[in-house]
Copies of this chain bind each other. A is one copy, B any other.
Amino acid sequence: MPKEKPFILVSNDDGITAKGIRTLVEVMSEIGDVLVVAPDSPQSGMGHAITIHTSLRINRSDIFGAQIEAYECSGTPADCIKLGKYYVKTDRMPDLVVSGINHGSNTSISILYSGTMSAAIEGAIEGTPAIGFSLCDYHKDADFSHTKEYIKKITLQVLQTGLAKGIALNVNFPKIQEEPIKGIKICRQARARWQDEFDERTDPHGRKYLWAMGSFINHDLGHDTDEWAVKNNYISVVPSVFDLTAHRDIAVLNDEWEILR
């Protein structure tokens, strides 16, 4: 744990006005010096998109009161982290990057599509410890009250023990229930997927358009997965990488591929 107050960069993907980021900023300002750089509009499903074809706007926001330095930005969650590190505050690198609390689950394969987790992973790229928090409740007025105690515990633990370089934590909270949360589980990403469907409609000018829909399909019955944890009222914590190399498959391809010889 650094001796001075840790410097914490906060972002999200639901936008700066979302209830989830308000809760996260409350908890983080009990722990350290907070800088918020968050999208000015919802950016769910943006994956690890960055803005390269258009320019960016960034403006000071007083949404969290005079004590919290906050900015709203026209870009994606990954843009926000880059701006926080390389534009807004160039004299001090963050000790921690946090993102969320997302309104909705980011377990399993959803990590790929998640703007929340792209902000955390962007933070982790240079070795800064980073955590993305999500609540398995998509409602805009979702109840985050049960998450605060655990967010504080997890954050303090990460500041104390650090994280291996190149790791971001994907933390998912079950929706609030009558029974209290059972605890925290370190998990692997469940091997599940979205089965997509497209709802075909016709606009007033007679032209077709589609809405993407999907059902979440999980055949992975392991009790060590994030899906199992949140379904059973545990908080899931998945250590997640940005080195996508399938290291063990390098030798497989070297062995099997005739075109290499």
Contact = CB atoms under 8 A, between A and B. Distances in A.
Contacts of A46: 47, 49
A116 interface: no
Contacts of A237: 253
A60 B244 CA distance: 34
A113 B48 contact: yes
Contact of A56 (B153, B161, B211): B211
B56 A52 contact: no
B242 A109 contact: yes
A244 B111 contact: yes
A239 B45 CA distance: 25
Interface in A104-124: 109, 111-113, 118, 121
A113 B186 CA distance: 27
A150 to B, nearest CB: 9
Contacts of A55: 201, 209-211
Count the copies: 2
Q: For chain A, what secondary structure do more than half of its interface residues adopt (helix, strand, loop), or is it mixed?
A: mixed
A245 interface: yes
A187 B183 CA distance: 40
A254 B186 contact: yes
A104 to B, nearest CB: 11
Given A112-B121, A210-B55, A244-B241, A196 B45 contact: no
Interface of A: 42, 44-53, 55-58, 78-79, 82-83, 85-87, 109, 111-113, 118, 121, 125-126, 153-154, 157, 161, 164, 166-167, 170, 183-184, 186-189, 191, 193, 195-198, 201, 207-212, 224, 237-247, 249-250, 252-254, 256-260
